[in-house]
């Protein structure tokens, strides 16, 4: 059974997004697209309707940290 996580696991989501989309600069991604990327991640169990701008911003910053670390 894969590891499951939800919206509050911002760091885990950032890691997963970096692994799946290593070529994408997180600062260029619209929140609507990022929402879609997140809800399609393996193991993501969060309710798509429960996201908000604050969560998406936190996830974007976690993804950016991973992106910068990978450079």
Hey, where are the domains in the chain? Answer: 10-70
Residue 51 pLDDT greater than 70, yes or no: yes
If you average pLDDT over every residue of the chain, what do you get? 95
Residue 2 pLDDT greater than 80, yes or no: no
What is the mean predicted confidence (pLDDT) over 65-71?
A: 96
Q: Is 21 exposed, middle or buried (0-12, 13-18, 19+ CB in 10 A)?
A: middle
Model confidence band, residue 46 (pLDDT cutoffs 50, 70, 90): very high
**Residue 3's pLDDT is what?**
82
CATH of domain 10-70: 1.10.10.600
Model confidence band, residue 71 (pLDDT cutoffs 50, 70, 90): confident
Residue 20, CA distances (Å) to 25, 31, 49, 63, 66 in order: 12, 17, 22, 11, 12
């Amino acid at each position: 059974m894969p590891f499951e996580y939800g919206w509050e696991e911002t760091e885990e989501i950032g890691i997963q997004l970096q692994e799946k989309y290593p070529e994408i600069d997180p600062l260029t991604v619209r929140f609507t697209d990022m929402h879609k990327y997140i809800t399609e991640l393996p193991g993501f169990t969060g309710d798509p309707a429960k996201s908000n701008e604050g969560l998406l911003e936190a996830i974007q910053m976690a993804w950016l940290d991973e992106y910068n670390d990978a450079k």
